[in-house]
Amino acid sequence: MAGLPPSVPPRKSLGNIRRAFAPWANPAARPLVTFEGVTKRFGGVTAVDDLTLAIYPGEFFALLGPSGCGKTTLMRMLAGFETPDSGRIAIDGQDLAGIPPYRRPTNMMFQSYALFPHMSVEDNIAYGLRQEGQPRTEIARRVAEMLALVKLEGLGRRRPDQLSGGQRQRVALARALAKRPKVLLLDEPLGALDRKLREATQYELMDLQSELGLTFVMVTHDQDEAMALADRIAVMSGGRIAQVAPPEVIYENPATRFVAEFVGDVNLVEGTITEASEAFVSIRTAPEGLVIIADPPPGLHPGAAVTVALRPEKVAITHAEPPQAVNKLAGEIWDIGYLGDFTMFQVKVGGEGGPLFKVALANRTRRVERPLAWDDRVWLSWDAEAGILLAG
């Protein structure tokens, strides 16, 4: 313990508990929030397109996707600020159609924070509780509790414009949490924070969520954030959901080419299956004629067009030809990007005009001179299980 710098927050020991939390895999589990065939159009734009989704009680659910893919619209429909053109949204089995925002069991932390500028921090946090008509003493107690929770004790009397951006964001979080909503909606909650504060707040969010046992739905642009926080991630594209799965599944087993490309770095190689057996499939890439061996996916037969997705860190890079590798390709280093924790190599495979492969190599020593240099001839190799086969 003594050796660790104090600013590093302890990694959550919840790893195992989280792994056991998988209500979506249990057919008997009752979802808390359900979207059924929900569509929302703005004029000619279809912001959300026939979307079906279930979110379970106690889940930390992240929405990830490119700008304009409908994340905010999805949240705003759940909060009641937009009405779906068709489809059904329910919380706890209750259809939300016709229920105004002020009678929904959701609270939202706005992307712009939307703090009331004419009220003190305390009054902002107390606002929701006052609407419930709670007794004065109870409100005061809850406000104090919330201020302590977001570590803003002593700032209760200030106006929002007397706070820093990070403090404002905490007030917004406290205000949204004060009513203990069944579902807390967070629209890019940490967007305005610097990286350090952001990481610290991420852990706080996680702690809060497991402490209070609430259900969080969070929009984010930051895939690391989604990976770190969420039980499941929904990757959206063009108003539809491309894949909903736990972070490790999204990363290691992307369902589509879009998901593979959107989350993390990836090498994509297109080809055709030439041979398929119980043990492996063999793929021949289109113009270059490279042969790639991969684990056999279900339902793909010889002749089928596939894309092989290969994460950069799954590929080994060596000067010497690896004798036993299932997949090996000779190439030449075109570019080296030093990124601190790892180095990203761009390797041209199969001579002039061949594809560029990204290969990530963890920097496990502090040596600055690396044995691999520009224009070196190298070998890339990877296991059969490393390549992800995607249809098309």
How far apart, in whole angstroms, are the C-alpha atoms of residue 171 and residue 150? 7
73-92: which residues touch another protein (CB under 8 A)? Answer: 79-81
How far apart, in whole angstroms, are the C-alpha atoms of residue 20 and residue 14? 10
Nearer CB in complex with another protein: 73/285: 73
Nearer CB in complex with Mg ion: 70/354: 70
The continuous run of DSSP H or E covering 53 comes out as: strand 45-55
Partnered with residue 357 across adjacent β-strands are 347
Q: Which does 169 bind (CB under 5 to 8 A by kind): ligand ATP, Mg ion, another protein, none?
A: none
Out of 7, 13, 26, 67, point to the residue binding ligand ATP (CB under 6 A): 67
**Across the chain, where does the E strand assignment appear?**
33-42, 45-55, 60-64, 86-91, 94-95, 106-109, 183-187, 215-220, 232-237, 240-245, 267-276, 281-285, 291-294, 305-310, 316-318, 327-338, 342-349, 356-362, 377-382, 388-391
Does 72 contact ligand ATP by CB under 6 A?
A: yes
Does 72 contact Mg ion by CB under 5 A?
A: yes
Does 73 contact ligand ATP by CB under 6 A?
A: yes
With contacts defined by CB under 8 A, name the span among 51-59, 174-182, 281-289, 302-310 that binds another protein: 174-182
Question: Which of 209, 208, 254 minimizes the C-alpha distance to 235?
Answer: 254
125-164: which residues touch another protein (CB under 8 A)? Answer: 127-128, 131-132
Does 106 contact ligand ATP by CB under 6 A?
A: no
Out of 14, 42, 83, 116, point to the residue binding another protein (CB under 8 A): 116
State how far the alpha carbon of 34 is from the alpha carbons of 24, 368, 378, in Å.
12, 53, 51
Question: Which of 353, 8, 24, 20 minimizes the C-alpha distance to 200?
Answer: 8
With contacts defined by CB under 5 A, name the span among 72-80, 167-175, 259-267, 272-280 that binds Mg ion: 72-80
Q: What are the residues binding ligand ATP (CB under 6 A)?
A: 42, 45, 47, 65, 67-73, 221
Q: What are the residues binding another protein (CB under 8 A)?
A: 79-81, 100-103, 106-108, 110, 112, 114-118, 127-128, 131-132, 175-176, 179
Q: What are the residues binding Mg ion (CB under 5 A)?
A: 72
